[in-house]
């Protein structure tokens, strides 16, 4: 998602490019469904064919990606994978079924009950599908956000997964009025003045990020909406309803989304990928030094180019806890979040599964001690695993003044902490 934030041809779950290549059979199967086009006596309408293509994609995700050969044998993990597929489908429907590139709207990337690509309880993210040959105006207000940014993603037209980010604009680079309001022109041609977000020939979506460090995580606040809007300055005239052909095309875009985002999501991190990233640890309960996405690739998709990251899995017995100690660097934002294996955060609406700097209770010397445990250890800064024996821990640091220090960890008996 960081989440929401999160990936050029790679995900925390593994390499998207490799995943898509190994998923060729599915792509071909979807193309066959596409080729029926008009209605046929055997298949009904083109919309029905496209709907069946979505079903075929889901079946192929299960049969080709979620297999023992790919490392999926745990029934609990497989059950959670089905939930992740449903969230991906839900997002594809939300983004692409009614997409109008001439009149786009910003839609929430994730919600407390629809999660993918590394969601973050302390940030709100928005998505808008666009055309590269149009001119758009984005208006909004930074409000209480500690950081606001906009990214243009390339290659995601018609529901495909983005292949790279071609332009970005952060509030540190923007002209912002005294009341926090701003206006951005999004186009291929630079305007004479004001904020500009450049479009390239393959630009296909705008992703926004709005980080907060409040005592209550911003994503848990009911009805909280970032004031942001987008309008096209050179729209095409409204035409007649597209009927079966339009519906079929949009359903096919949904199938594309499910296929390619599943290929990103259901790939386990290989030693090669972890080495390339550097900041992803494959040793349970132990972090590597923090780093940036651009350390792994020249281009970046779904990732925040202003952020540093560190991640690791935890593995804990029922009577164990993981104690994490360290100090936050000087930065504009920092937090730690618990995810499942598929870059989905735990239930932050009802549990404490993340901590930002304003939520942490500090030691007398200004350091932190965070405890990951299955039950309340009776000490501050408990991150609730929801009873999951295994999970993922993900740090984010925005604009650190220096490279963040590596957190120290130790596994202890949970009762020893009281």
394 within some domain: yes
Mean pLDDT confidence for 207-217: 97
331 within some domain: yes
- What's the pLDDT score for residue 306? 77
pLDDT tier at 42, thresholds 50, 70, 90: very low
Strand segments, DSSP code E, in 233-348 are 307-315, 320-326, 333-339
Give the three-state DSSP class for 85.
Answer: helix
* Least confident span in 20-24, 242-246, 283-287, 325-329: 20-24
Q: Quote the longest CA-to-CA distance of the chain.
A: 76
- What's the pLDDT score for residue 303? 56
Per-residue pLDDT of 151-209, as tens digits, reads 999 999 999 999 989 999 999 999 999 999 999 999 999 999 999 999 999 999 999 99
34 within some domain: no
- Domain span at residue 340 reads 271-417
Query: What total number of domains does the chain contain?
Result: 1
Q: Provide CB contacts within 8 A for 156, sequence distance 6+.
A: 129, 162, 163, 204, 205
Contact 372, 353 (CB under 8 A): no
130 within some domain: no
Mean pLDDT score of the chain: 89
- What's the pLDDT score for residue 24? 52
358 within some domain: yes
136 within some domain: no
Instruction: Give phi and psi for 265, each to the nearest 5.
Output: -75, -40
175 within some domain: no
Q: Which two tokens stand for residue 237?
A: 């005239």
**CA dihedral over 252, 153, 209, 269, signed as positive or negative:** positive
pLDDT over 50 at 292, yes or no: yes
Per-residue pLDDT of 325-374, as tens digits, reads 999 999 999 999 999 999 999 999 999 999 999 999 999 999 999 999 99
Gap between the Cα atoms of 314 and 319, Å rounded: 14
Q: Provide CB contacts within 8 A for 348, sequence distance 6+.
A: 112, 121, 217, 219, 220, 354
Higher pLDDT, 254 or 296: 254
Pair type for strands 181-187 and 14-15: unpaired
Mean pLDDT confidence for 30-41: 45
- The torsion defined by the Cα of 63, 65, 68 and 74, in degrees rounded to 10, comes to -100
Supply the DSSP string of 355-403, one letter for each residue.
EETTTPPPPTTS-EEEEEESS--SSSSEEE-TT-SEEEEEEEEES-SSP
* Least confident span in 70-84, 121-135, 136-150, 290-304: 290-304
Which is nearest to 27 in space by CA: 35, 153, 88? 35
59 within some domain: no
Domain with residue 411: its CATH number is 2.60.120.1600
């Amino acid at each position: 998602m960081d989440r929401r934030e999160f990936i050029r041809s790679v995900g925390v779950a593994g390499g998207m490019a490799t995943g898509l290549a190994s998923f060729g059979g599915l792509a071909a199967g979807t193309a066959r469904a596409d080729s029926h086009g008009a209605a046929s006596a055997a298949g009904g309408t083109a919309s029905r064919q496209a709907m069946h293509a979505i079903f075929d994609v889901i079946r192929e995700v299960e049969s080709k990606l979620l297999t023992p050969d790919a490392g999926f044998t745990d029934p609990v993990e497989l059950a959670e994978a089905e939930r992740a597929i449903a969230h991906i489908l839900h997002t594809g429907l939300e983004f692409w079924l009614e997409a109008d590139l001439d009149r786009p709207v910003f839609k929430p990337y994730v919600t407390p009950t629809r999660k993918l690509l590394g969601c973050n309880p302390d940030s709100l993210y928005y998505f808008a599908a666009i055309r590269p040959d149009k001119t758009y105006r984005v208006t909004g207000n930074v409000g209480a956000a500690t950081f606001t940014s906009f990214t243009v993603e390339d290659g995601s037209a018609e529901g495909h997964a983005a292949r790279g980010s071609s332009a970005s604009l952060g509030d540190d680079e923007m002209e912002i009025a005294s009341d926090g309001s701003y206006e951005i022109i999004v186009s291929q041609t630079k305007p004479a003045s004001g904020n500009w977000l450049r479009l390239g020939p393959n630009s296909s979506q705008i992703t926004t990020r709005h980080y907060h460090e409040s005592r209550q995580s911003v994503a848990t606040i009911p009805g909280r909406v970032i004031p942001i809007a987008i309008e096209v300055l050179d729209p095409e005239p409204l035409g007649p309803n597209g009927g079966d052909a339009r519906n079929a095309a949009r359903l096919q875009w949904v199938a594309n989304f499910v296929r390619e985002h599943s290929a990103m999501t259901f790939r386990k991190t290989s030693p090669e990928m972890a080495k390339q990233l550097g900041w992803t640890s494959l040793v349970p309960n132990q972090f590597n030094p923090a780093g940036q996405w651009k350390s792994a690739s020249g281009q970046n998709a779904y990732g925040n180019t202003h952020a540093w990251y560190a991640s690791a899995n935890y593995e804990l017995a029922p009577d164990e806890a993981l104690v994490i100690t360290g100090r936050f660097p000087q930065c504009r934002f920092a937090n730690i979040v618990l995810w499942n294996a598929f870059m989905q955060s735990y239930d932050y609406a009802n549990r404490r599964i993340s901590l930002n700097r304003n939520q942490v209770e500090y030691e007398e010397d200004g350091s932190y001690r965070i405890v990951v445990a299955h039950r309340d250890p009776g000490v501050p800064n408990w991150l609730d695993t929801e009873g999951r024996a295994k999970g993922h821990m993900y740090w984010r640091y925005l604009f650190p003044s220096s490279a963040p220090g590596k957190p120290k960890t130790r596994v202890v008996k949970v009762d020893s902490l009281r």
